[in-house]
Structures are given as structure tokens and as C-alpha cells.
Structure 1
Amino acid sequence: MTTRVALDTARELRTWLRSYRSVFVLTGAGVSTNSGIPDYRGADGHWKRRAPITYQAFVQDPAMRARYWARSFVGWPVVAQARPNRAHAALATLEAQGKITALVTQNVDGLHARAGQQAVIDLHGRIDQVICLECATRLPRASVQALLADAHPDWTTITASAAPDGDADLEHLDFSRFQPPPCPNCGGLLKPDVVFFGENVPRARVAVAADALQQADAMLIVGSSLMVYSGYRFARLAHEAGLPLAILTRGVTRADDLASLKLHADCEATLAGAVDACMA
């Protein structure tokens, strides 16, 4: 029964995809959960854990900043070692076939690019890059990890449950002696080059994504609840432009009432099945 339902869902998505010349895709955490990267929200759209740190807390509160970097130091290997799954591969295949005009992702894990996707807009940035808030120097996250390991060798043996976006669930630890990494160029504050909660997506990035949406004749949302406005806005834009909207995810989304097709299913199995069927 489960296999039959999965096949039927994949066929339904395949039929929808074949109905349109060019599709604008927006992805969220549900695309990467099968790669071992946890998501923030449950099927009901509510937080699974405490909300992530805000930009304001990171910049203004040294204790919160130390806590963030300590957790990130322990959690980073989960993202670094993650590999694209069949959902990422399927979307890259659809792009190669000319079906996808652009892919906007709310994820910061870089897995779409690693799967071979060419036209990726990283709406919330990339966590494998770090930027100095003072001089704008950019560094690979791996080099910052090495700096932290040298400065805090006693933290290299700590293990913890993985949390979203390279975070780790560390409780009852003293973060007061954990020193966040300074910029090697100017000594300024280093921050992952991602959009934190309370921070705005760069306008130019939004404009590029909106322009790409105008070139499409349908929109597909994969693995996102759209509870964050930065992603939901594109569902609204598609609806206002009269574009058909399909949603593939487990659970509710903020745009369910806008969708012409809603598939409650596993992103990886459904996308892989749909693409395999299209190629058959």
C-alpha cells in the first residue's frame, strides 16, 4: 500500500510537471532532511525546538555570540559531511532537461550546488562561508573551524545531537570561556554568511529571484512550510501573477490555500519517482 501511494504521488507530480514549459522552484528544509540535516519545524508548522538566535542577539550580546559559535563548532561536521540526496539529484536533472528556469532555496547547506544545480539562488546565504561584519572579508567555514579547534582543543571531543543548519543541542555547558573567532584581517566580528532571524534578505537577491519567477509559467514548492515570509512572498507573487502553484511537503504550509496541487509526501521519494517516470 505504501509503495502504491508513493508511486501514485510521483505520477501525479510527473503529470503536473509535464503540463508546464518552465517551472520556478522554491525549496526548504524538507529537501535536506534525508541528507541528515534536521529541520526547524514539524508537520504542523510549529517549532520543534527553541527558535534560533537572532541577528540582534548575535551582534549585541557577547554571551549569546559565544554560545552560538560553541554550538556551531560542535554541529558543523553534520553539514560538512552531508551529501545530496535523490531530491537534489532529481531537481538538477529537471534543470538539465530545461524544465526548471531557476531554483531558489531557503536552505543554507549548499547541497543543491553540490548536486549539480546551476541556477541556484541561495536566498538565505551559504553556511559554508563566513563574513567579517567590519571589513567584509570572506572565509571558508572550514578554515574557521580549524581556527576554533586550535583555540579550543577541549571542545573537539564533545558530541551532541544535530540541530538545523550546523547547530548542535548543547545543554548545561559553560560557554563563558569559548571565544568566538576574530577576523584574521581586522579582528572584527565573524558571522556565517547567512541571513539570521531578524535580518533582511538582501534586496538585490530578492529582485533576481522575482525576475526569475516572471520567466516561469508555474511554481513548485518543495519541502517548505513557508512560515517565514522571505519564502512565502514568492508563493504570493506567483498567485498574483496567475501562475499554477504546486506544493510537495509533509504537513501544512502557509500557502496551502493558494495551491492548485498539494502533495503530502516525502520529497526525496516523490521527486526521484517523478523524474524517473519522466525519463522512462
Structure 2
Amino acid sequence: MAKRQVLEQLAEWIKGSSYTLLLTGAGMSTESGIPDFRSQNGLWKNYDPAYVSSVDALEDHYKLFHEFYTLRLQDIETRIPHQGYEVLSRLQEQRLIHAIATQNVDGFHLRSGGRNVHELHGSLSRIYCHACSQEHSIEAFKKGTACSCGGKLRPSIVLFGEMLPEPVWEQAIAAIEQSDLVVVIGTSLQVYPVNQLPSMTKGRTALINQEPTAMDHVFDLSIYSSAKESLIELEKLLDR
């Protein structure tokens, strides 16, 4: 089917759904200029993402860790959520979308007025001490301030080598289990265990992504296109 026809089908499914969950990934934010860590451009070109985003870097090479995440925070401050985020906020207000689970750590769903957002990999907007868990400000982190206990400050995100926070993971699973429609936007579904979420629903599943993924077989419907443009068009179809 052509993209328009597939979006029309998705719009009908959303209208008929009693509980719709969205799962978003990096492709949702790249259209706002946020780099995908798999890309070797921009912020990532001088860093090994698998290392600089690891517990080992935090504990053993804190200067490198701090430098990189200071750059990430500064970069996010220059970006604004694109129109697709605004669409999702309006659809939530209309109770056409009921919950959002996201792999992204930029906080754009909340900045755009999103509600019932499950940040599976945490958020760069929260800072705490790696040793004692005391919360600190973003400015304290940027300045390289140590905690009063002497511990290292870090963003509240899931690093390589860490488990997903159990409460938010359980909330996302509960949302998946009660949903009769799950829409996945902008993720290649390569990261475990988040890539298992779409297969946990008993309802319909749809994918919006720039390109096919290795998980396409679990979806009832797939749209290979821009997240932003697809959401803008989808909103128009839902308004008809």
C-alpha cells in the first residue's frame, strides 16, 4: 500500500483503540538535530559511544565522561522539539494517545507537554551523585563540582553496563499489556530489552521508521518515512 493508505489505516486503528501506547527512539529526535549515537557525525565523531556512555568511563575516565556529557547537555539546550512532538501532545489531550515509552534521554516529550511518559533510559535533565545518589543541579555538573560526599556527579541515564530502572520498566510493561495498539516510532529496535516490548502486546502493532528493521515481522503495519512528516499527516487524517 502507498504511504497515504497505510497512514489512513493507522488513523482508523487509533480512532478505534481504547488504549494506545507509543514507543519512540532516536529517529524521533534526530529530526530536531539530536545526533543518533550510532552516527559518526557531530558530537560522536571524536568519541567511542560504546565507551564514553559506559560505567567504566564514568568510574575510570571521568574527565572524558564529564567532557562528553557537558557537550551533550549544551547541544540539547540549543535544540527545540519538532512539530511531531507537538502533534503527540495534542493527540494525548484528545485521549487518542494514552501513554508514551521512550528510549530517548533528551526530555523532549515532557518539554512538549507529553504526559504519562515512561523514560526507559532516564533523562539528561536530572543529575545525581554516583556514590550516594544525592541530587544536584545541571550547572553543578557542568562546573565539574563533586558531591559533598566526594562522589562523581552524573546524568540520570542508563549507561552501558547498567540495568534499566525497574519501576519505569514495570510501568512500561503494564502499559503495553493493557494496550490494544502499540505504535513504534523512530527506532531500529536493536537495544535489548526495549526491543522486546512490541511483542508483549496482544493488540495491533504499527511501525513508523525511516527504514526497515530486523523486527519488522512483529508489526501488523509498517510505514517507512520521516517521523515528523508522518505524524503531521496522521493528525490531519484523525481530524477528518
Task: Normalising by structure 1, report the TM-score.
Answer: 0.76
How far the C-alpha of 1:107 sits from its partner, in A, is: 0.3
- For 2:195 and 2:106, locate their aligned partners in 1 and report how far apart those are by CA, in whole Å: 20
The one-letter code of the counterpart of 2:149 is C
- For 1:128 and 1:262, locate their aligned partners in 2 and report how far apart those are by CA, in whole Å: 32
Q: Gaps (5+ residues) in structure 1?
A: 149-180
How far the C-alpha of 1:243 sits from its partner, in A, is: 1.7
Q: Does 1:182 align with 2:181?
A: no
> 1:155 corresponds to which residue?
none
How far the C-alpha of 1:10 sits from its partner, in A, is: 4.0
- For 2:25 and 2:168, locate their aligned partners in 1 and report how far apart those are by CA, in whole Å: 17
- For 1:227 and 1:128, locate their aligned partners in 2 and report how far apart those are by CA, in whole Å: 25
> 2:174 corresponds to which residue?
211
Change (3 A) 1:192 1:279: same
- For 2:26 and 2:218, locate their aligned partners in 1 and report how far apart those are by CA, in whole Å: 20
SS in 2 for 1:67: helix
> 2:193 corresponds to which residue?
230
Kept in 2: contact 1:31–1:222 (CA 8 A): yes
How far the C-alpha of 1:261 sits from its partner, in A, is: 0.4
- For 1:199 and 1:104, locate their aligned partners in 2 and report how far apart those are by CA, in whole Å: 19
Deviations 1:184-239 (A, max 9, x none): x222111110001121101222111111112211111000111001321211212x
Deviations 1:74-131 (A, max 9, x none): 3422112221111111111111111222110100000000110111011111101111
> 1:256 corresponds to which residue?
216
Change (3 A) 1:79 1:52: farther
Aligned mate of 1:195, from 158, 163, 168? 158
Change (3 A) 1:56 1:206: same
- For 2:123 and 2:196, locate their aligned partners in 1 and report how far apart those are by CA, in whole Å: 20
The one-letter code of the counterpart of 1:52 is A
- The higher radius of gyration belongs to 1
Deviations 1:21-56 (A, max 9, x none): 3211100011111111011347xxxx9984333533
Change (3 A) 1:74 1:205: closer
Q: Does 1:120 align with 2:117?
A: yes
Kept in 2: contact 1:101–1:215 (CA 8 A): no
> 1:272 corresponds to which residue?
232
SS in 1 for 2:193: helix
Q: Does 1:137 align with 2:100?
A: no
The one-letter code of the counterpart of 1:56 is V
Change (3 A) 1:73 1:224: same
How far the C-alpha of 1:248 sits from its partner, in A, is: 0.4
Change (3 A) 1:254 1:199: farther
Deviations 1:252-273 (A, max 9, x none): 3242110000110000000111
What is the alpha-carbon root mean square deviation over aligned residues?
Answer: 2.2
Identity %: 27
- Equivalent pairs counted in the alignment come to 233
Deviates more, 1:70-79 or 1:97-106: 70-79
Aligned mate of 2:18, from 16, 21, 24? 21
The structure whose RCO (Cα within 8 Å, separation 6+) is larger is: 1
> 1:159 corresponds to which residue?
none
> 1:156 corresponds to which residue?
none
